[in-house]
Chain A
């Protein structure tokens, strides 16, 4: 578990560094891929543990340290996306790349719409036709990048000797709660 935490901590720092620097150096406009959210979806779909939920919260909190004005906003939305990805993966027999891309696409939309609604009220969602185009663009860019991030994380887990697919829900009470 410590290796998994280390891997995601490094990946989150790298994702944050990329997310804060890419828009400055490349003409991405508002279409900045949400790399941390992709990591949260990877966690939710492949790592079913309380520590994984805590990691998602910390990842969101790390975004709060770099962006926006309200501490707790991204922590809330990233934890929510993690929970939705977790629920999705428990309902499906197979969680392949397409499912992951779809989860990332929906996750970005949910996170962005939720963030705007929470920080600016529902009035922020209306009367701005460019907004939906921006959100869809950002969701699409993130979904397209998701497979590459999933592969990179799978390789990272392999290098660290972890199971790339993590562990599915195990209801045995004999296991420790925080595994």
Chain B
């Protein structure tokens, strides 16, 4: 009887047990560095070579398409000239790509020198596996000295922080993820708040009082108080301030300074930022 019951409902019972297990992992707050999360690190390491190589493959395919296939459709005559032209265009595209990459890296180098802190540059090799979370994968990891919680920047501003590090790659939680939050202030009026991501809707600045002097167009920068990001890095620009409705605080939407979908290289600060003491605000 019992055996028959177990057999009949084996899928439901197994699924139920697994749901309980995952609910337990959720409620006990298993973190990426815990022992139970180690297989995840192995998976991250397993896929990073695939991501790196396919990243190069797609770049190659992209160049090939633009430099050769498009040209073939335009002119069929004069093979020799066309081949020569394609060769020069290919060379030019390669040089342009190198120049762009060089410019990006130079800007990151300038940023690193301006910060005056030790930092490592890394290529972006993948993005989030779901459409809802905002994470990306970079091609540098523990071998380069990276650790969980390090700040990730681009030449445009703050990108996010590391949340999982494997030997050859790392996962970055971007600041527009709905689980991300960082201490910030309005650069003009020095009004402080917490900048957090909103699901599919950019950034918002929380806990800004109704009488606070915050206006559209103001720059929002990091305060350095969270111990992760150095002080004074650009997060974005105030887009809209809604003072209607009840409550102690106003709704402040912030347009991020970084175009997260076009990130190619990032800078990871491997040195903890200097301690900052909170000052009075409004």
Chain B residues, CB < 8 A from A31: 131
The listed residue with most A CB atoms (<10 A of its CB), out of B16, B41, B43, B136, is: B43
Given A66-B128, A68-B133, A69-B179: A50 in contact with B58 (beta carbons within 8 A): no
Partner of B126, one of A20, A34, A82, A175: A20
In the complex, the chain A residue whose C-beta lies closest to that of B25 is: A72
Chain B 123-141: CB-based contact to A (< 8 A → 1; otherwise 0): 0101111111101110000
Chain B residues, CB < 8 A from A24: 55, 124, 126-127, 136
Complex Cα gap A82–B19 (Å): 11
- Of the four ranges (under 10, 10 to 19, 20 to 34, 35 or more), the interface on chain A belongs to 35 or more
15 more A-B residue pairs beyond the given contacts A61-B39, A76-B26, A79-B18, with a C-beta to C-beta distance below 8 A: A16-B47, A20-B137, A30-B132, A49-B11, A68-B130, A69-B163, A70-B26, A71-B31, A75-B25, A79-B22, A82-B15, A83-B15, A116-B178, A171-B4, A173-B4
Chain B residues, CB < 8 A from A124: 178, 199
Chain B residues, CB < 8 A from A20: 47, 51, 126-129, 137
Chain A residues, CB < 8 A from B13: 50
B132, A112: Cβ atoms closer than 8 Å: yes
B129, A66: Cβ atoms closer than 8 Å: yes
CB distance from B41 to the nearest CB of A (A): 7
CB distance from A146 to the nearest CB of B (A): 16
B194-239, CB < 8 A from A: 198-201
A118, B22: Cβ atoms closer than 8 Å: no
A118, B198: Cβ atoms closer than 8 Å: no
Complex Cα gap A16–B236 (Å): 31
Chain B residues, CB < 8 A from A71: 25-26, 30-32, 34, 36-37, 40
Please list 5 pairs of residues, one from A and one from B, whose beta carbons are closer than 8 Å in the complex, sorted by A's number. A13-B46, A21-B51, A25-B58, A61-B39, A75-B22
Partner of B54, one of A21, A61, A72, A82: A21
Chain B 142-167: CB-based contact to A (< 8 A → 1; otherwise 0): 00000000000000000000011000
The listed residue with most A CB atoms (<10 A of its CB), out of B4, B15, B25, B46, is: B15
In the complex, the chain A residue whose C-beta lies closest to that of B24 is: A72
Across chains A and B, which 10 residue pairs bring their CB atoms closest together, nearest first? A72-B25, A65-B40, A76-B22, A20-B126, A50-B14, A75-B22, A32-B131, A19-B129, A72-B26, A53-B14
A69, B133: Cβ atoms closer than 8 Å: yes
The listed residue with most A CB atoms (<10 A of its CB), out of B15, B23, B132, is: B132
Chain A residues, CB < 8 A from B137: 20, 66
Chain B residues, CB < 8 A from A128: 198-201
Complex Cα gap A49–B164 (Å): 33
Partner of B18, one of A54, A68, A173: A54
Partner of A16, one of B31, B129, B131: B129
Given A62-B43, A67-B135: A131 in contact with B199 (beta carbons within 8 A): yes
In the complex, the chain B residue whose C-beta lies closest to that of A50 is: B14
B179, A119: Cβ atoms closer than 8 Å: yes
Check: A120 CB closer than 8 A to any chain B CB: yes
Chain A 156-179: CB-based contact to B (< 8 A → 1; otherwise 0): 000000000000010111010110
B47, A66: Cβ atoms closer than 8 Å: yes
A83-137, CB < 8 A from B: 83, 86-87, 112, 115-116, 118-120, 124, 128, 130-131, 134
The listed residue with most B CB atoms (<10 A of its CB), out of A31, A76, A86, A130, is: A76
In the complex, the chain A residue whose C-beta lies closest to that of B58 is: A25
Chain A residues, CB < 8 A from B11: 48-50, 52-53, 83, 86, 169
B160-189, CB < 8 A from A: 163-164, 171, 173, 177-179
Partner of B199, one of A52, A116, A177: A116
Check: B50 CB closer than 8 A to any chain A CB: yes
CB distance from A176 to the nearest CB of B (A): 9
In the complex, the chain B residue whose C-beta lies closest to that of A177 is: B10
B130, A60: Cβ atoms closer than 8 Å: no
Complex Cα gap A56–B14 (Å): 11
Given A20-B127, A67-B128, A83-B12: A57 in contact with B173 (beta carbons within 8 A): no
Chain B residues, CB < 8 A from A79: 15, 18-19, 22
